């Protein structure tokens, strides 16, 4: 049976390649959509662990204004803990954490224009609770800006959401195309072997004996497509990781990294979908054109 399957694959090479490539591309898109989803959910998880907001103060804040803000923080029952980061520390952070390899940028920035800040961890970690506490500081004199971690995450979430749906949609449409192509390949294979099939039925070959080579052929196409798809998803993730490591990427993006375990999980899923598409496509073809 394996020999028959292989022979069929060779006979129908162009159509087989078309099916495999379509499945591969559609599964890559599907995989990348899943990758994006994992990335966003990782980022959200990581930020929720250390949910905090930052109260940036004016660089030229007066001592009395600073005292008022400090008093406010200490008085607030909603705040678990806080840390004051003065100008010197902020400046060091700016140089070392953000632009360690670009002294030309840091040279333009002097200690005096860097804002000091309070890093605050609220007691309640829900976004709504944080919002109430954080917005209370926005109007205080001497406060430049209040930045919530969730703000940035949400922005990226929204952006990736749109991309994800487009990629997912394209992936699903292509997957449908792949299924139809596999169906058609199997139909051609059945047509090419119609004499043999007629004889097989005549002499009493069991239905499964007639059916299985075609099912195997379709499943094989789906699986090869899945293998290529998984490879490209893996490649995409590696490229993303390298990009994160090599360039001066915003710190926040680091939390989007997806572990290799998760990538293999996605790969496993792609194999499952590929096998499913292949066997369903060939099953439909067999059911419609084999008449067993």
Partner 1 sequence: MIKLESVTKVYKGEVLALHQASCDIQKGEFVFLVGQSGSGKSTFLRLLNKEEEPDNGKIFVAGKDIARLRRWRVPQMRRQIGSIFQDFKLLPNKTVSQNVAFALEVIGRPRHVIKTQVPAILDLVGLQTKMNRFPHELSGGEQQRVSIARAFVNRPLILLADEPTGNLDPATSVGIMRLLERINEIGTTVVMATHDRGIVDTMRRRVIELNNGEIVRDQARGVYE
> Which positions touch partner 1 (CB under 8 A)?
195-196, 198-207, 209-210, 292
Residue among 128 and 202 whose Cβ is closer to partner 1: 202
Q: Rounded to the nearest whole angstrom, what is the least distance from the CB of residue 186 to partner 1 in the complex?
A: 19
Q: Rounded to the nearest whole angstrom, what is the least distance from the CB of residue 221 to partner 1 in the complex?
A: 24
Residue among 165 and 209 whose Cβ is closer to partner 1: 209
Q: Rounded to the nearest whole angstrom, what is the least distance from the CB of residue 267 to partner 1 in the complex?
A: 37
Residue among 113 and 199 whose Cβ is closer to partner 1: 199
Residue among 118 and 214 whose Cβ is closer to partner 1: 214
Q: Rounded to the nearest whole angstrom, what is the least distance from the CB of residue 204 to partner 1 in the complex?
A: 4
Burial of 246 (0-12, 13-18, 19+ CB in 10 A): exposed
List the strands of the sheet with 79-85, edge to edge: 79-85, 117-122, 53-57, 143-148
Residue among 213 and 218 whose Cβ is closer to partner 1: 213
CB atoms within 10 A of CB 240: 18
Q: Rounded to the nearest whole angstrom, what is the least distance from the CB of residue 199 to partner 1 in the complex?
A: 6
* β-strand partners of 143: 57
């Amino acid at each position: 049976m394996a020999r028959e399957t292989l022979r069929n694959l060779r006979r129908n090479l162009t159509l087989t390649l078309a099916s495999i490539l379509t499945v591969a591309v559609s599964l890559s898109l599907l995989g990348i959509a899943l990758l994006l989803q994992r990335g966003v959910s990782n980022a959200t998880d990581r930020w929720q662990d250390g949910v905090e907001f930052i109260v940036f103060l004016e660089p030229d804040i007066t001592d009395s204004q600073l005292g008022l803000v400090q008093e406010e923080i200490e008085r607030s029952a909603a705040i678990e803990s806080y840390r004051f980061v003065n100008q010197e520390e902020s400046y060091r952070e700016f140089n070392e954490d953000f632009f360690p390899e670009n002294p030309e940028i840091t040279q333009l920035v002097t200690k005096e224009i860097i804002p000091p800040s309070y890093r605050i961890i609220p007691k309640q970690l829900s976004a709504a609770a944080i919002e109430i506490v954080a917005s209370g500081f926005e109007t205080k004199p001497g406060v430049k800006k209040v930045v919530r971690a969730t703000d940035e995450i949400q922005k990226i979430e929204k952006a990736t959401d749109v991309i994800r749906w487009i990629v997912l949609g394209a992936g699903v449409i292509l997957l449908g195309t792949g299924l139809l192509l596999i169906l058609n390949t199997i139909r051609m294979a059945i047509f090419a072997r119609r004499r043999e099939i007629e004889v097989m039925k005549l002499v009493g070959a069991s239905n499964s004996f007639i059916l299985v080579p075609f099912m195997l052929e379709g499943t094989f196409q789906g699986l090869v497509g899945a293998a290529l798809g998984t490879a490209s998803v893996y490649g995409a993730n590696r490229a993303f990781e390298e990009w994160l490591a090599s360039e001066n990427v915003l710190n926040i993006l680091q939390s989007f990294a997806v572990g290799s375990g998760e990538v293999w999980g996605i790969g496993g899923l792609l194999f499952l979908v590929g096998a499913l598409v292949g066997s369903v496509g060939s099953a439909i073809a067999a059911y419609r054109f084999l008449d067993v």
